[in-house]
Amino acid sequence: MSKPFKFYNRLRVRFNETDLQGHVNFAQYYFYFDESITHYFEAIGYDHQALEADNTDLLFAESHCTYKSSAKWPEWLAVYVRVSHLGQRSLRFEFEVRAEADGRLVATGHIIAVTAHKDTFAPHPIPDRLRQAVHAYEEDCPTPLNTSVEVVTEANVTSFPPGDAAA
C-alpha cells in the first residue's frame, strides 16, 4: 500500500461472483466497494440510521476501479477504505483490495459521492455529524485528510436525477 488505511472490510469471494475464467467478474468490485463503505460508516459511528436522521442521502456521482490481479473463489479479500476528501457536498472514498493469503494487490479504486436531501434529492451539505465522525476516526491515521485540496469539484449535481427536486 502506498498510503496507510485505517479501516478494512474482510470478505470472502463467493462462487457466483466469478466468471467463466474462474476469477471475480470486474463489476463485483463495485459491490465490494459499496459494502465496505457501509461497514466503514459503522466503524466511524455514523450508520445508515444516522444518515436518515440527518435527512441525507449519498448519491454516487463517479466511480473507478483499476484491476491489478485476479481474485478467485473462495479467497478472502481485505477491502481497505478511507475518505480522502470532504467538500461541502462531496466525499471521495478510496479503496485498495488485497488478497489475505499473500497480500497481493487485487484492485484499487474510488467513489465520489454527493449529498442530497433524502426525500427530494435537492443539494444538501454534508451533515456536521458525518464530517465530525470522519475527522475523529481518520485523525489517528498517519495520512491525515487534506480538505484544503479540491480533489473533486462538487460534481455539478444540483438534483439527481434531474427534475426530482421539483416533484
pLDDT tens by residue, 56-113:
999 999 999 999 999 999 999 999 999 999 999 999 999 999 999 999 999 999 999 9
Residue 167 lies in a domain: no
Helical H runs in the chain?
28-44, 48-53, 128-138
Range of the domain at 27: 7-145
Question: CA dist 114 to 19, 37, 68, 148, Å?
Answer: 32, 14, 27, 18
Cell triple for 117? 436531501
State the residue for C-alpha cell 456536521: 128
pLDDT band for position 35 (50/70/90)? very high
Q: CA 136 to CA 127: how far, in whole Å?
A: 14
Number of domains in the chain: 1
Q: What CATH code is carried by the domain that includes residue 103?
A: 3.10.129.10
pLDDT tens digits along 145-165: 443 333 333 444 444 444 333
